[in-house]
């Protein structure tokens, strides 16, 4: 079977990573969580106190330190998924906490940060057989990806999903606070100068507000199957 590149873009808390992981497992593809990469850079900045309580970022210091930031992915034997490493340290759990979530979109607007992350992402996915999710995968990182998805969901559904994610980790926030955080991230993602969140013209829209994980996976696997079937058919003469 010929390997392809699957690019999944969309809003925060739409289940992009959950679907991408399931797809990669089912297809025996490599999964790359690009959002985790930006979160790891954000964590690095937080640890060096380059982000203050008002969420102002010392961009100059962060840009100068980009060459010192090494990111990678390691297999987690318990989850069977890849965890991100920051300079050799597994930071998968720490990057999911609210301090990182509340400012990661601002960090991701920095041109130099995006340039470094995109270069790394293209290197990781150059051999195809990859599922990559983020905000600009189908429009910027892999504009020639064979299958592009754009995921969305009702804001209320997204907020409840994020609340469930936090509570599963022992973190509790009001639904209003979570909604506000998601709205802020949406605005920052949609309006940033460098590669904003937009739907690629050839992307398939997947609104999963009322779909189970199994239904989403089945839907996309059918898209993959149909695409591979078309690619195997001989050209008409």
Mean pLDDT of 113-132: 94
Instruction: Spell out the residues 6+ positions from residue 173 whose beta carbon is closer than 8 angstroms to its own.
Output: 98, 163, 166
Q: Is residue 56 part of a domain?
A: yes
Q: Is residue 99 part of a domain?
A: yes
Measure the CA–CA gap between 117 and 42, rounded to whole angstroms: 12
Q: What is the CATH number of the domain that holds 50?
A: 3.40.50.300
Per-residue pLDDT, 236? 47
Residue 111 domain boundaries: 5-224
Q: Is residue 235 part of a domain?
A: no
Q: Is residue 233 part of a domain?
A: no
Average pLDDT, the chain: 92
- Residue 205: φ, ψ to 5°: -80, 130
- Structurally, the chain folds into a number of domains equal to 1
Per-residue pLDDT, 229? 85
User: How many alpha carbons lie under 13 Å from residue 83 in its C-beta half-sphere?
Assistant: 18
94: left (phi over 0), alpha (psi -120 to 50) or beta: alpha
Q: Is residue 120 part of a domain?
A: yes
The 10s digit of each residue's pLDDT in 87-117 is 999 999 999 998 998 999 899 999 999 999 9
187 burial (CB, 10 Å; 0-12 / 13-18 / 19+) is exposed
Q: Is residue 232 part of a domain?
A: no
Q: Is residue 191 part of a domain?
A: yes
Q: Is residue 135 part of a domain?
A: yes
The 10s digit of each residue's pLDDT in 201-234 is 999 999 999 999 999 999 999 999 999 888 765 5
């Amino acid at each position: 079977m010929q390997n392809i590149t699957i690019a999944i873009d969309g809003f925060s808390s739409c289940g992009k990573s959950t679907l991408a992981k399931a797809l990669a497992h089912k297809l025996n593809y490599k999964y790359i969580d690009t959002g985790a990469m930006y979160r790891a850079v954000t964590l690095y900045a937080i640890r060096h106190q380059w982000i203050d309580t008002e969420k102002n970022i010392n961009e100059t210091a962060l840009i100068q330190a980009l060459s010192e930031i090494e990111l990678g992915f390691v297999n987690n034997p318990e989850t069977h998924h890849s965890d991100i490493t920051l300079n050799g340290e597994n930071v998968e759990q720490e990057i999911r906490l609210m301090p990182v979530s509340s400012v990661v979109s601002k960090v991701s607007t920095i041109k130099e940060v995006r340039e470094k992350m995109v270069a790394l992402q293209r290197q990781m996915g150059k051999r195809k057989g990859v599922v990559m999710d983020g905000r600009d995968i189908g429009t910027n990182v892999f504009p020639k990806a064979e299958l592009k998805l754009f995921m969305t969901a009702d804001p209320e559904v997204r907020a409840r999903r994020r609340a469930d994610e936090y509570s599963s980790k022992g973190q509790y926030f009001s639904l209003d606070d979570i909604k506000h955080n998601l709205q802020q991230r949406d605005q920052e993602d949609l309006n940033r100068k460098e590669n904003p969140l937009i739907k690629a013209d050839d992307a398939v829209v997947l609104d999963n507000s009322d779909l189970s994980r199994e239904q989403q996976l089945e839907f996309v696997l059918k898209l993959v199957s149909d695409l591979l079937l078309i690619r195997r058919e001989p050209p008409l003469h």
